[in-house]
Amino acid sequence: MENKSKSRGWLIGKLGNQSQLEKSDEQESISAIATELVQTFPEEIEPTDTTNTKNLFSKENQDKVSLDIIVSLENMLKDRQLILYKNKDLEEQLYSLNEIISRLKHEQMKKDQLLQEKSKELSVIEGKLTKKQMSYDQLLEDYKDYQNTSNLEYEKVSNLLEIENNKYNRLYEESTAIQHQHIQKINQLEERIRELEVENQNYLEQYRKIQEEKNQLMKSINDFTERMSFSFSHSTDSSSQTE
């Protein structure tokens, strides 16, 4: 009963405060009810004159049973109008909801399509990332191999360098010793040269003296020869004159 009262109150509000109209003009309400009955049940209720219809549903001069029936009919029609208004409102709400659902479905389709495209892009990106990861792994493996090879080569080069350094140090020591020997030999040769120069100078002095003595001797010989020649020549001339 409370729900029916609330529904009737809502219907009355929808109809522009129909309860006030009923109090002011009860005959018009009865006429509207009769018209509604005729429209709802056209086969069961035969058309009658409007005046007769108003008199038929008039609450005046009615017994209790008829009055209860009329009141029940009024309540039923009000409930029916309330249901019709509610149905209309629900239909409007349903239409709005259907539009919202259609829009949401359309948006969902767009989102699904976008999601599929993004999934494809993600798959492509994952493929690229997988290739890059494989390339990175291969590069890392190659780098490890290169590092191992480089370490082995470094050890070999280090060993060779150590060997060459030892050779260099040995050769440097030998070269230093040879240079020292050469310096000593050069010093000895220079000393010998100085000695030979002194000897040569002495020989030159001796040669000069001998040469001077030789010249002196040759001069003496020449002088003697000239004197002998002159004496011999003079003796010959004297002998000739004597004869």
Helix ranges (H only) for the chain are 2-14, 18-24, 26-40, 50-56, 64-242
Q: Is the entire prediction scored with pTM above 0.75?
A: no
To the nearest whole number, what is the mean pLDDT of the chain? 77
Tell me, what's the pLDDT at 186? 92
Residue 3 pLDDT > 60, yes or no? no
d(CA 188, CA 68): 164
Token output for 5: 């009262």
Per domain, the residue ranges of the chain are 2-114
User: Is the pLDDT score of 107 beyond 50?
Assistant: yes
* Structure-token match 């009055």, residue found: 67
Query: Rounded distance, CA 80 to CA 74, Å?
Result: 10
What pLDDT, on a 0 to 100 scale, did the predictor assign at position 43? 46
pLDDT at 239 over 60: no
Highest mean pLDDT among 52-66, 130-144, 217-231: 130-144
Q: What is the reported pLDDT for 105?
A: 92
Half-sphere exposure of 88 (CA within 13 A, CB side): 7
- Return the closest-CA partner of residue 57 out of 81, 75, 74: 74
pLDDT tens sequence across 110-136? 999 999 999 899 899 999 899 999 988
Give mean pLDDT, residues 96-106.
91
Convert the pLDDT of each residue in 30-63 to its tens digit. 455 555 555 554 444 444 444 444 444 556 666 7
Of 83, 90, 91, nearest in space to 10 by CA: 83
